[in-house]
């Protein structure tokens, strides 16, 4: 006899996990291989030239081999990405200098976000390759996402809308200013 879980008939044994069904995400899965590849640095939105306007491109800090940029489509306010300048797609392609600077800039990003937003938690990670969930798989980037208790809600699922309480330009100003004070 199937088990009744939260009023629904379910097969198998309970595992203690709740399920959040997000069928709208199938659009990302189905379309992942249809996006044209960014074959060159000129096409890639994550390739930043030294003479680019940092504010216009949301770059908050530049290091020797890597830089830090606000995510144009943030999961949460202050969602940063640490990227090498070189157009490489895999962590295994990073030089020792790039690998080390990605780590150091990630630590600095956490410190800055704690200063500007009081965040007490983070999601940090890399999605490698299209299959691994990378939206831009051709250019390596590490996400630094600030988290707060209760920061997730059903608005993105029900209304296909994200509630972001601050404009990207305002976030850029606060993060850039705090970074300069480290």
Active centre residues (catalytic): 141
CA 104 to chain centre: 17
Residue 88, burial from CB neighbour count under 10 angstroms (0-12, 13-18, 19+): middle
Find out whether 84 and 102 touch, Cβ atoms under 8 Å: yes
| Count of C-beta atoms within a 10 Å radius of residue 141 | 22
Ramachandran region, residue 76 (left: φ > 0; alpha: ψ -120 to 50; beta: rest): beta
Q: In whole angstroms, give the CA distance from residue 140 to residue 135.
A: 10
């Amino acid at each position: 006899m199937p088990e009744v879980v939260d009023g629904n008939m379910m097969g198998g044994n309970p595992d203690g996990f709740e399920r959040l069904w997000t069928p709208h995400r199938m659009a990302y899965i189905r379309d992942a291989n249809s996006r044209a590849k960014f074959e060159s640095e000129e096409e890639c939105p994550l390739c930043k030239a030294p003479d680019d306007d940092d504010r216009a491109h949301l770059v908050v800090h530049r290091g020797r081999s890597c830089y830090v940029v606000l995510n144009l489509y943030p999961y949460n306010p202050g969602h940063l990405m640490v990227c090498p300048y070189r157009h490489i797609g895999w962590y295994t392609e990073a030089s020792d200098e790039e690998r080390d600077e990605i780590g150091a800039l990630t630590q600095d990003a956490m410190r800055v976000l704690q200063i500007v937003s009081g965040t007490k938690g983070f999601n940090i990670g890399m999605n490698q390759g299209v299959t691994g969930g990378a939206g831009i798989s051709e250019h390596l980037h590490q996400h630094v996402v600030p988290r707060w208790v209760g920061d997730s809600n059903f608005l993105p699922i029900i209304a296909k809308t994200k509630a972001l309480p601050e404009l990207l330009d305002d976030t850029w100003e606060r993060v850039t200013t705090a970074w300069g004070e480290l």
